Chain A
Amino acid sequence: MTVLVILDHDSHGIKQPARSAVAAASQLGPVHVLVAGENIAAAAEAAARLPGVEKVIKADAPAYAHALAEPLAALLVALAPDYTHLLAAATASGKNVMPRVAALLDVQPISDVSAVVDADTFIRPIYAGNALATVKSRDAKKVITVRATGFDPVPADGGAAEIVPAPAVDGPTRARFVSAELSKSERPELTAARVVISGGRGMQSGENFHLLDTIADRLHAAVGASRAAVDAGFVPNDYQVGQTGKIVAPELYVAVGISGAIQHLAGMKDSKVIVAINKDEEAPIFQVADYGLVADLFKALPEFASELEKAS
């Protein structure tokens, strides 16, 4: 029973959600990983250092440069006979590719798993996290995406796996990468940050998000937003924390001017410590907050910044 994990990577190495996926896979059996892309020697070496990884399959070819689902799925299907489980983090890429792989293998995928019960049985949130379903797969092979926040990531170093090249596979060619507009930020990624500070509709404008930036700089935090703030056009969609955005579980989550709609709570309620700053003391966010401050955020945020400065 060997598990193949598809790793999300970038120029900095293996992404944190992928390290959580390796942790989840380690609960099931020996772990091999696939690193696919173009010019990925460094990422493959980083993968080989992950503790618990026995083998790294390196697929280095132009076809995999942009992680398009069509060629990646074809490659995974070619590798599948050696594995009982195919697993990826439930990132935009994992969600795009894994169901395609599952259908090609005639398997019902199991999406967004938050806990492993046994080799066939998994727990996953449904209804935006308002219920947890325990499901047992009747398929011989399992195709799984895991919610990264459910599994502590393996460390980045400690292993020494062998690296082998992937077989050449002819994939479909009717999808072509055109362009990407990726947000540039010096801050940690939302899904990997130790501290996240998010703004909601209460921020009133995109310009006002600089009030969060000052605090984020001090706390080395990522900046997020509620869906309401994204819908209002304050910040781009990749800031969105929630059921339809990113799922985060940092050590500290600070919700500013966020009322606490179910869809937002679904994306952050597993955070270790939650702080809510809101002028409406009836806001539902206070029902999940460890520390609530009823205050006007335009007064509280500058004060927060200066108190942090004093405290440091």
Chain B
Amino acid sequence: MKLLVPVKRVVDYNVKVRVRADGSGVETSGVKMSMNPFDEIAVEEAVRLKEKGVASEIVAVSMGVAACAETLRTALAMGADRGILVETEVELQPLAVAKLLRAIVEKESPRMVILGKQAIDDDMNATGQMLAALLGWPQGTFASKLVIEGDQALVTREVDGGLETVSLTLPAIVTTDLRLNEPRYASLPNIMKARKKPIDILKPADLGVDPSPRLAVLNVAEPPRRQAGKKVASVAELVDKLKNEAKVI
């Protein structure tokens, strides 16, 4: 079975982001960029399915500026077989990404698409659900466990009250939550090998998709800062303050 794994290039999760003074967005120039952590989990899950003999081929897809090829190389070094880069300077929002992915799914016919549940830059948590809708496929979002049995994907999902398991008839969409697996580091030999793996480059027009954003970003601002309060010397003082000053207990 062929798997498709979309990967997004985002500001590295260790970087403390800075809002641009003109309110146009977050500073990204000269900032370390990495694969979205939830997408690393998606790649890892796909590679494990291939190692178990469940999957036969893993196609990684990334979209955006030319540098997204680096993100694809990371996926290839982790074990994906080949890459597709949809190159554009346009700011891509989840609806456009889902439409581009639908076009790629129609060309590649994977049995399953595994995506990160959320990108850590725009925090939208939408693309997987939207792709499922456009394809008319079932969705297993926020997965903490994935088991393939015949033509069914058993997905254990992280929900507000605990865990829920659903059974999806393939082809299906799965989005990853944190506890699904711990992604591997690519070994040096695999990084070298990844350089030789093929990456196809397409434009949105090649896929017949208009990628224009539907949401205009009017302003990006720093959130209000919380002032540090005071230190208390003892538990007794803390309880007294909570009771008589803050009046919350």
A residues within 8 Å of B by Cβ? 66, 68-70, 73, 91-93, 95-104, 106-112, 121, 124-139, 172, 174-183, 189, 191, 195, 219, 227, 231, 236-238, 243-244, 246, 251-252, 262, 269, 272-275, 281, 286-295, 300, 303-304, 307-308, 310-311
Contacts and interface: CB of A to CB of B under 8 A. Distances in A.
Contacts of B144: 237
A291 B229 contact: yes
Contacts of B29: none
Interface string B209-232: 000011111111111001011111
Given A137-B215, A289-B229, 4 more contacts: A92-B159, A104-B133, A291-B231, A303-B236
Given A102-B130, A179-B164, A293 B231 contact: yes
Contacts of B235: 293, 295, 300, 303-304, 307
B189 interface: no
Contact of A92 (B19, B142, B226, B243): B142
B223 A129 contact: yes
Contacts of B98: 103
Given A130-B223, A131-B223, A174 B159 contact: no
8 contacts: A95-B129, A99-B94, A132-B223, A179-B165, A238-B160, A252-B242, A291-B231, A292-B231
A262 B221 CA distance: 17
A304 B17 contact: no
A107 B160 CA distance: 26
Interface string B137-181: 111111010000000001001111111111111001000011100
Contacts of A131: 17, 19, 26, 220-223
Interface of B: 11, 16-17, 19, 26, 93-95, 98, 118, 120-134, 136-142, 144, 154, 157-169, 172, 177-179, 213-223, 226, 228-232, 234-236, 238-243, 246, 248-249
A292 B232 contact: yes
Contacts of A68: 166
Interface of chain A: mostly helix, strand, loop or mixed: mixed
A273 B248 contact: yes
Contacts, number: 259
Contacts of A178: 154, 165-167
B248 A99 contact: no
A291 B158 CA distance: 33
A135 B124 contact: no
A64 to B, nearest CB: 14
A177 B164 contact: yes
Contact of B218 (A135, A252, A293): A135
A218 to B, nearest CB: 9
Given A109-B94, A178-B165, A291-B241, A126 B159 contact: no
Contacts of B93: 108
Contact of A70 (B130, B138, B226): B138
A292 B235 CA distance: 10
B215 A110 contact: yes
B241 A108 contact: no
B219 A133 contact: yes
Contacts of A121: 218
A162 B217 CA distance: 39
Contacts of A138: 214-216
A67 B235 CA distance: 45
Nearest to A272: B248
B223 A125 contact: yes
Contacts of B132: 69, 100, 103
Contacts of B177: 237, 244
A238 B162 contact: yes
Given A73-B133, A134-B219, A195 B248 contact: yes
B191 to A, nearest CB: 27
B161 A183 contact: yes
A237 B26 contact: no
Contact of A308 (B138, B215, B249): B249
A106 B214 CA distance: 10
B166 A177 contact: yes
A136 B158 contact: no
Contacts of B140: 175
Nearest to B222: A131
Contacts of A139: 214
B113 to A, nearest CB: 14
Given A111-B125, A291-B232, A304-B235, A103 B11 contact: no
A174 B168 contact: yes
A177 B164 CA distance: 8
